[in-house]
Amino acid sequence: MTRRDMFAIPAALAVGAGDAVADAIPYEAAAEDFGADFRIGICSYTFREFQRKMAIDMMKQLSAGYVSVKDVHLAYSLTPEELVKAAGEFRKAGLTIVSAGNTDLKVDDPAVLRRYFQYARDCGIPMLVTAPTHQTLPAIEKLAKEFDIRVAIHTHGPEDPNFPVPKVVLDAVRGMDARMGMCLDVGHSMRGGADVVQEIANAGPRLFDMHMKDLTNGRDKDSQCQVGDGVMPVVAIFKQLRKVGYRGCVNLEYEINSENPLPGAQHSIGYLKGVLAGLAG
């Protein structure tokens, strides 16, 4: 559904609603009315140019209570005590940390990989969104079981030689522990030629996390835009998530306008909430 399609849903969701919709719509209630168990969140990578306190303040303005935290806001180098304190800043702001990443797990050394799982444990984070290799997966699976932390392999598009599209991820984790799954980045996956709606069905319970973005050209990385202004089939995605019983988050990852991302992020979150409300209505 593009911006022009919004005329088909209630007047409160009309074109230009943007940040007003982000503040006005109780999207948890809308999700429940729609029969959905998933929630809308934000990737802190959206605010990568800003220090943690400022990033948290901007995420609060989005009224999205769930966050996938990038290490720029919760550094791997912090001590366990510092991690507890830093993670607490998000929680005090009303933000639930649902995952950490994207985390590069390409080093073929179990001791190095272990540090990332210790990091997640110390922060109280239940899931790592990861960029591994096929070679590191067996060691990662062992650590996922040992620490009882889920691993969501991120789809990175045609530039990634390891896990470009959902099919490659799903083939790799087939037969692995149930804690091994996928983070579906809809933008990168679309650029890789994947049907993102169908891939949600293909993934089933292996779909742990989602990164939401939009493109004006489904094959062009540089065509990213505000969600709702491009070709991403958000309505069909939400309907499919409901159909498969997805219980994770749809986390906005707004990668453009990094020096001033808040207006575009507000518009995008507002659009996502508006679609949920429109479907519930």
Q: What is the pLDDT of residues 12-29, one digit of tens each?
A: 343 344 444 444 445 566
Strand partners, 40: 250
Q: Three-state DSSP class for 68? A: strand
Residue 26 pLDDT: 52
All structural domains of the chain: 3-280 (3.20.20.150)
Per-residue pLDDT of the chain (281 residues; tens, 9 = 90+): 444 344 334 333 433 444 444 444 455 666 777 777 899 999 999 999 999 999 999 999 999 899 999 999 999 999 999 999 999 999 999 999 999 999 999 999 999 999 999 999 999 999 999 999 999 999 999 999 999 999 999 999 999 999 999 999 999 999 999 999 999 999 999 999 999 999 999 999 999 999 999 999 999 999 999 999 999 999 999 999 999 999 999 999 999 999 999 999 999 999 999 998 888 86
How many whole angstroms separate alpha carbon 198 and alpha carbon 105? Answer: 28
Residue 280 pLDDT: 82
Residue 6 pLDDT: 43
Residue 242 pLDDT: 94
- Give the strand pairing for 214-215 and 224-225: antiparallel
Whether the model pTM is above 0.85 = yes
Residue 35 pLDDT: 75
Phi-psi region of 64 (alpha: psi -120 to 50; beta: other; left: phi over 0): beta
CA distances from 155 to 8, 173, 186, 208, 224 (A): 32, 13, 8, 12, 16
Quote the Cα angle for 45-149-142, to 5°.
Answer: 120
Residue 22 pLDDT: 44
CA distances from 221 to 22, 53, 191, 214, 239 (A): 26, 30, 7, 10, 25
Q: Whole-angstrom distance between the N-terminal and C-terminal Cα of the chain? A: 16
**43 phi/psi in degrees, rounded to 5:** -85, 125
